[in-house]
Amino acid sequence: MLPDPTVNRQSIDILITEGRMRASQLFFPTLREVPAEAEMISHRLLLRGGFIRKVAAGIYDYLPLGYKVIKKIEKVVREEMDAQGAQEILMPAIVPAELYQETGRWNLDVLFRLKDRNDRDYSIGFTHEEVVTDIIRRDLRSYRQLPLNLYQIQSKGRDEARPRGGTVRGREFIMLDAYSFDRTWDDLDRAYDKMYAAFSRTFARCGLAPLVVEAESGAIGGKENQEYMVVADSGEDIILVCEKCGYAANAEKAEIGERPVKKSDDELQPLELVDTPNARTIEQVTSFLKRSPKKLVKTLIYKAGEQVVAALVRGDRDLNEAKLASMLGVKSVEMADPETILRVTKADVGFAGPVGLDKSVKIVADREVQGMMNFVVGGNKTDAHYINANIGRDFEVSEFGDLRVASKGDPCARCENTLTTVRGMEVGHIFKLGTLYSEKMGAGFLDDDGQEKPFIMGCYGMGVSRMLAAIPEVNSDQDGMVWPISVAPFEVVVILLNPDDEAQCNAATRLYEELQQQGVDVLLDERDERPGVKFKDTDLMGAPIQVVAGRLAGEGKVEVRLRSTKSKEEISIDDATAHVLELRRKLYQESEDKAQAVAVNPQLH
C-alpha cells in the first residue's frame, strides 16, 4: 500500500490502520528521574525506559517493551535449542511436595510453599529436575528412545534471601531449563556439547560474550559443570582468570597452583602463650596483638563424618569447604559444634589452635601456611593465643594442600602465571548430572543387554529475565540502552519530528509503511512532542536503527542513524527503505558471525 501523497497530522490515524506500532499508542512510561530504588545501570534504564515496573521485592511487571525483549530472547533460545534437537515442553509451575521430597529438596529454604484446600503441600517450581524425571520414568522405557532432550521456558519462583538489581536476581524469574537423558556417559558428553553450542550461540546472538568458567556444582554434586558469566563490575560473583592460559573459574571452585615453598631465614622465636581477653575473631586478635592478619593462622575445627579435623589457613584467607572435603575424601564437611570444639580444644569457640590439640584431631593446612614462621595461633585456652608458633617444632601438620578460597594474585594451577579477578553475572549454567536424579527417583530404561539402567542426565539453565538486565548492563551509554538488533524492542524507530509538516508526515509514514511491508519491526514516533523528547526517548529505548523525518524531508531526504555509533547519514527518501534493510541485514549478519565463532567448547576439545 502506497501512502496518500498528502498525509497530514489528522490523516495519520486513518492511514495507519495497524496502530500498534505508533508511539502515541504504545505504553512505554518513560521517566526523567531515576527511581530511588534502582542502583544498577540496567535496573535504572529498564525502569526509566518503561520496560519493567516493580510489584514487590524481586517481582516485576514486564511492560510492552520489556516483554517484547523477553519474547525476542525466547525466540533466539527456541531456535538454538530446536537446532540441537531439543524438544519444547511446558511443565507445571506448581509442583507437588512429593516430587521434591523424593530427592530431599523439599526442605530447601528457597522454596515458595503453598497448600491446597485439603492441606496438601506444593511449591512453586524453582527448577524442574524431579518433574522432568518423573515424566521420563513414566513413559520412557527403552534405550531406543534415547537420546532425549526436553526443555521449557517458564517462570520460576525462588524465595531468595536477597533479591537485587531489578530482574538480575528476582524471586520470580523467567528461565530456560533443559534436561538431557542418555544411555551412556559418552552420549552425555555429546548432549552436553550440543547444549554448550546452543548456549554459546544464544548468548552471542543476544549481544553477550560471557566467560565460560568452571564452577562448583553445590552440595548435591554432579560430575562437571560450567557457568556462563557476563563480566560486569556490578556482577555478584568473583571469577578468577588466568590471562596467560585462559583458565577461568568461579571463586568457590578456582584451584590454586602449587609453588616451591619459600621459608624465610628468620630466627625461630620462642613460643609464648599470651593473654588475649575476648579476642576471638581475626580482627580482634590482630588489633589486640598489633600484628598483621598475614602473621596469623586461623584454625577451623570441622567434622568430616566422625573425624574431627583442624584446618589451618592464613589469617586473611578464607577456607574453601569443598576443597577441604575433597582433600579428606568425603562428600561434605561441616563446622564443628561448640561442644566438640570445647572437647578437643578445652577452650571456648574462638581460641582453637594447633598447639596441644587433642590427639584425635587431624591437622591439615593450606600450602601457604607451610612457608610461615613465628605466627600467631589460638591458645586452646579461653582468652589466650600463642605467638611465635612454628610447624615442626610446636605441632605437626599431617597434610598440606590447596584449601583456601582463591583470590587475586594466587598462582594459576594450569600454568606459571598468577590469577586476576573479575566480577561476573551468571547468565547460564550447564551441568552433567549423571544418575543423581534418575537413581533417587527410580528412573531407568532397558538397555540392549536386557538390563535396567538409570538415565544419565544433564541439565542446562539460562536466565532469560536476567538477560533482560544483563544485556543493557553491558550495552549502554549516557543516553540509554543500546540493544543488539536480535533482541531490541524495535529494529527501527521512524521519528516524525513535526507532525504539522506535510513533507515530514509524508516521508515518515511512507517509510514506516514500506518497512512494515518488508517485515521490519518498526515503531513510528508521531507523538505531539517536541523533537528533544522524541530523541531522548528513542535513545533511551535503544533501538539499533533510527530514521529521522525532519527538515530535510522538504529536500526529499531523511536522516538514518545507528544507535550504537551515533553515526548519521542523509539518504534520499526513495532509497531509505533499501538502505535501512541493508543496515539491518548487516547487523544480523554480525551477530550470526559472532555466534559461529563461539559454538565450540574449548574446555572439552
| The only residue of 277, 329, 532, 602 in contact with RNA, by rule CB under 7 A | 532
Q: Is 436 in the site for RNA (CB under 7 A)?
A: yes
Q: Whose Cβ is closer to RNA: residue 31's or residue 446's?
A: 31
Q: Whose Cβ is closer to RNA: residue 372's or residue 410's?
A: 410
Least gap, CB of 85 to RNA (angstroms):
23
Binding residues for RNA, rule CB under 7 A, total 59
Q: What SS3 class is residue 60?
A: strand
Stretch of 200-208, 259-267, 550-558, 582-590 contacting RNA, by CB under 7 A: 550-558
Q: Residue 556: how many CB atoms within 10 A of its CB?
A: 12
Q: What SS3 class is residue 492?
A: strand
Residue 384's Cβ-count burial label (10 Å; 0-12, 13-18, 19+) is middle
Q: Whose Cβ is closer to RNA: residue 291's or residue 440's?
A: 440
Which helix (H) or strand (E) element contains residue 66? helix 64-83
CA-wise closest residue to 413 among 535, 269, 241, 192: 241
Q: Whose Cβ is closer to RNA: residue 22's or residue 169's?
A: 169
Q: Is 182 in the site for RNA (CB under 7 A)?
A: no
Q: Is 448 in the site for RNA (CB under 7 A)?
A: no
Site for RNA in 45-104 (CB under 7 A): 48, 54, 56-58
Q: Whose Cβ is closer to RNA: residue 224's or residue 559's?
A: 559
| C-alpha neighbours within 13 Å on the C-beta side of residue 469 | 31
Angle formed at CA 309 by CA 306 and CA 315, multiple of 5 degrees:
150
Q: Whose Cβ is closer to RNA: residue 376's or residue 580's?
A: 580
Q: Residue 260: how many CB atoms within 10 A of its CB?
A: 5
Q: Whose Cβ is closer to RNA: residue 443's or residue 552's?
A: 552
| The only residue of 433, 443, 469, 485 in contact with RNA, by rule CB under 7 A | 433
Q: Is 40 in the site for RNA (CB under 7 A)?
A: yes
Give the position of cell 536522516.
559
CA torsion sign for 69, 74, 76, 79 is: negative
Q: Is 559 in the site for RNA (CB under 7 A)?
A: yes
Distance CA 249, CA 227 (A): 9
| The only residue of 34, 83, 446, 604 in contact with RNA, by rule CB under 7 A | 34
Q: Whose Cβ is closer to RNA: residue 372's or residue 539's?
A: 539
Bridge partner residues of 231 (DSSP): 424
Q: Is 356 in the site for RNA (CB under 7 A)?
A: no
| The only residue of 24, 30, 417, 435 in contact with RNA, by rule CB under 7 A | 30
Bridge partner residues of 496 (DSSP): 549
Stretch of 187-195, 203-211, 415-423, 534-542 contacting RNA, by CB under 7 A: 534-542
Q: Whose Cβ is closer to RNA: residue 77's or residue 549's?
A: 549
Distance CA 37, CA 35 (A): 5
Residue 442, C-alpha cell as written in the block: 527410580
Stretch of 13-21, 297-305, 334-342, 533-541 contacting RNA, by CB under 7 A: 533-541
- What torsion do the CA atoms of 526, 527, 531, 536 make, to the nearest 10 degrees? -100
Q: 3-state DSSP: the chain helix, strand, coil percent, rounded to 5?
A: 30, 30, 40
Site for RNA in 148-177 (CB under 7 A): 160-165, 169
Distance CA 52, CA 410 (A): 41
Q: Whose Cβ is closer to RNA: residue 561's or residue 594's?
A: 561
For the chain, the first-to-last Cα distance in angstroms comes to: 54
Distance CA 547, CA 558 (A): 7
Least gap, CB of 561 to RNA (angstroms):
7
Stretch of 241-249, 289-297, 328-336, 430-438 contacting RNA, by CB under 7 A: 430-438
Binding flags for RNA, 274-313, as an x/- string (CB under 7 A) = ----------------------------------------
CA torsion sign for 369, 304, 218, 234 is: negative
What does the DSSP 8-state code read for residue 585? Answer: H
Distance CA 14, CA 26 (A): 17
Q: Is 255 in the site for RNA (CB under 7 A)?
A: no
- Please check whether residue 571 is in contact with residue 520, taking contact to mean a CB–CB distance below 8 angstroms: no
| The only residue of 14, 36, 265, 306 in contact with RNA, by rule CB under 7 A | 36
Binding site for RNA (CB under 7 A): 30-37, 39-40, 48, 54, 56-58, 126-127, 129, 160-165, 169, 216-222, 236-237, 429, 433, 436-437, 459, 479, 497-498, 500, 530-533, 535-537, 539-540, 548, 550-552, 559, 561, 568
